[in-house]
Amino acid sequence: EAGVAQSPRYKIIEKRQSVAFWCNPISGHATLYWYQQILGQGPKLLIQFQNNGVVDDSQLPKDRFSAERLKGVDSTLKIQPAKLEDSAVYLCASSFGPVKGTQYFGPGTRLLVL
Amino acid sequence: KQEVTQIPAALSVPEGENLVLNCSFTDSAIYNLQWFRQDPGKGLTSLLLIQSSQREQTSGRLNASLDKSSGRSTLYIAASQPGDSATYLCAVNGGRDGNKLVFGAGTILRVKS
């Protein structure tokens, strides 16, 4: 079974530029999550989708971050404009159902904002 | 707001030692607790998931316990090996923060050969 796919794996941008990350979850998984992991910290949930609807985006900085999950499969996370403090690893995860199911994580996209 | 703390932040042990990693959380109204492993430059791998009604889970050399009332979990690794070197993360699901995983900062483990 293929795992969660993410691209790109690495990205370096200047502050105030925009960047987008892509995630393809495990086939059949209805729930998709985006996490931000700053160096030395645990992952923090940014947004959770159930199919193509948003379940929780309470920790998403909506003035600069946006995410969508068209057709309930792939998802993109965008940052515009980027700030230095956005440097982090962005992890995508998926699960068969919400709440209690095991989440499977992708390898992450490592973002460096200069 | 749910807060998860992991102690120690880092641990270095010789190969073959048994070791314990600790996790504590502030809100005991959880659905489950998971232990993850994270290797450098890679995503997270789920090791063990303990439902709120369970006391422990075992997988090979790993044993995780949960004391929900006191807000504590431990991950026990028996006969540690250099391949166990990684960051171990504890995450709780549920509580008054809603249905989402809240992670600790992790314990960086190094097993020396």
How large is the average pLDDT for residues A82-111? Answer: 89
Contacts of A41 in chain B (CB under 8 A): 105
Q: Does A106 touch chain B (CB under 8 A)?
A: yes
Percent of chain B with pLDDT over 70: 96
DSSP string for residues in A80-111? SS--GGG-EEEEEEEESSSSSSPPEE---EEE
- CB under 8 Å to B46, separation ≥6 — which residues? A102, A103, A104, B34, B35, B36
Q: Residues A82-106: what's their mean pLDDT?
A: 88
Distance between CA A94 and CA A50 in Å, rounded? 10
DSSP per-residue string spanning chain A: ----EEE-SEEEE-TT--EEEEEE--TT--EEEEEEE-TTS--EEEEEEETTEEEE-TTS-TTTEEEE-GGGS-EEEEESS--GGG-EEEEEEEESSSSSSPPEE---EEEEE-
Section B5-25 average pLDDT: 96
A35 → chain B, closest CA residue: B101
Q: Residue A24: which of A111, A107, A110 has the closest Cα?
A: A107
pLDDT band at A100 (very low <50, low <70, confident <90, very high): low
* The token pair that represents B65 in the structure block: 């316990």
Picking from B32, B43, B104, the nearest residue to A42 by CB comes out as B104
Of B32, B46, B100, the CB nearest to A48: B100
Pick from A4, A42, A108: CB nearest B103: A42
Q: Which residues in chain B are closer than 8 Å to A40, comparing Cβ atoms?
A: 105
- Report the pLDDT averaged over residues B94-104: 76
Report helix, strand or coil for B1: coil
B105 with A41: Cβ contact below 8 A:
yes
- Count Cα atoms within 13 angstroms, Cβ side, for A52: 7
Q: To which H or E segment does residue B13 belong?
A: strand B10-14
B60 vs B80: CA distance, rounded Å: 12
Highest mean pLDDT among A35-49, A93-107, B84-98: A35-49
Q: Chain-wide mean pLDDT for chain B?
A: 93
**Mean pLDDT of all residues in B50-58:** 94
B55 touching chain A per CB within 8 A: no
Question: Is a pLDDT exceeding 90 seen at residue B71?
Answer: yes
Res. B99 pLDDT band, cuts 50 70 90: low
CA–CA separation, B10 vs B60, rounded Å? 23
Residue B95 scores a pLDDT above 70: no
Residues of A in contact with B32 (CB under 8 A): 100
pLDDT of amino acid A103: 86
B104 touches A42 (CB < 8 A): yes
Burial class (CB in 10 A: 0-12, 13-18, 19+), A52: middle
Does the pLDDT value for residue B97 go beyond 90?
no
* Cβ-based contacts of A93 with chain B (< 8 Å): 43-44
pLDDT tier for residue A96 given thresholds of 50, 70 and 90? confident
A110 pLDDT exceeds 90?
A: yes
